[in-house]
Amino acid sequence: MARTIAIVEDDPDQRANYADAITMKGYQVNAYANREEALEGFDEALPDLVILDIILGDEVDAGFQLCRDLLAKSPSLPVIFLTERINEIDKISGLRLGAWDYLPKPISLDYLAERISSLLRINEVRAENEEETSATAKRIGDLVLDQDALLVSWRGHRIDLSGTEFRMLAKLVRMPGHAVSYETLMNATMQSLVTNNTINTHMRNIRKKFEKVDQGFASIKSEYGFGYRWSG
């Protein structure tokens, strides 16, 4: 059965272009022009992945609100922001909400399709391996990382991290007790235009996700002006 991709984009030409390109890759596409249409569609059934613009009609932050609503219903749902709003504050806001990716317009339709495929593969492998620990899993104290499935568990509880968050955590715990520089963590994100503030936002998100299952979590330490250290 084809995976369902939802697109929320108020520009009709862009919406049609995205829908056509994604449909050609074998996905089913549900396209919405505004937040109200999208909410009605999501109430009927949640898609496998969502692509959101931030500005929808007269609502300048409609995409952010939709992201909140979606992740409240399904915390592990992959969400991609695709937008012309590429300043750092907006990017950080999107990441804080739990988006898996934040892509700038204009974008290559082939690249967009590849990002969708990649995120869906990650989510599929996670679902398949949720109840078991694979041979590639690495244990660091109470932490278990499965590099193949990009799965993380802490004291037996699954932690849903985005691909970027997982890569940063994996880099951080490679040498427990040793400080990891901002530059090294930036390289782990595999993104362009990454700043120290972006890294700090990712780390806050990671901490919050661990704190949801363990209020006393304190294994990620900040090294002021340099980076972070794993002390678990």
**pLDDT attached to residue 24:** 95
The mean of the pLDDT values for the chain is: 89
CATH 3.40.50.2300 residue spans of the chain: 4-124
What percent of the chain has pLDDT above 90? 65
**pLDDT attached to residue 181:** 95
Stronger pLDDT, 191 or 139, i.e. the higher one: 139
Output DSSP code: residue 175. S
pTM beyond 0.75: the answer is no
Q: 4-124 adopts what CATH topology?
A: Rossmann fold (3.40.50)
CATH 1.10.10.10 residue spans of the chain: 132-230
- Going across the sheet that includes 220-223, the strands are 179-181, 227-230, 220-223
Across the range 49-77, mean pLDDT stands at: 93
Stronger pLDDT, 29 or 134, i.e. the higher one: 29
Q: Which CATH architecture has domain 132-230?
A: Orthogonal Bundle (1.10)
* Dist. CA 59–CA 10, nearest whole Å: 10
Q: For residue range 175-232, list pLDDT tens digits in order.
A: 899 999 999 999 888 776 788 999 999 999 999 999 999 999 999 999 999 999 999 7
Torsion on CA atoms 170, 175, 178, 183, rounded to nearest 10: -40
pLDDT at 162 over 90: no
* Dist. CA 100–CA 12, nearest whole Å: 25
pLDDT band (50, 70, 90) for residue 170: very high
